[in-house]
Amino acid sequence: MDETAYAEPDIIARLARDLPHWRYEKGWIRRTFRTHSWKGTLMVINTVGHLAEAAWHHPDITASYAWVEVRLCTHSAKGITDKDFALAAKIEEVITWRPGPPLEGTPEKDARFAYIKYDQAAS
């Protein structure tokens, strides 16, 4: 499989076009997901873990009580490759998915049930 690393200007342009909530910083593409609580944080971590394992491409993850940062880089290519963009897109799709009818979705205003703070663009 081709693991050609992209140049920084190409990475930034592709993120702006395809993954606007992700950023390029210190050799990684990164995304911070805000959550309502530890429960939401664990749900995000487990979801990212499942996707990464299925893809066999593993991110670095840092977490705290109400946020999760996901960082992607293809170590074998020493940079950002199509693998990173593909996994970032799948993570974005799954984590920010919001149901529509007949599914009602998680009650965001009830702290007992709310778990992820959706970006305005994902609404």
For residue 44, being part of any structural domain is answered with yes
For residue 81, give its domain range: 8-122
Q: 77-123 pLDDT, tens per residue?
A: 999 999 999 999 999 999 999 999 999 988 888 888 888 888 864 43
For residue 65, being part of any structural domain is answered with yes
Residue type, 45: I
pTM listed for this prediction = 0.92
Total structural domains within the chain: 1
Residues in CB range of 4: below 8 A, 6 or more apart: 77, 81
Beta-bridge partner residues of 69: 32, 62
Beta-bridge partner residues of 20: none
What is the average pLDDT value for the chain, to the nearest integer? 93
CATH number for the domain spanning 75: value is: 3.30.1360.20
pLDDT tier at 17, thresholds 50, 70, 90: very high
Is residue 30 a contact partner of residue 71, using CB atoms and an 8 Å limit? yes
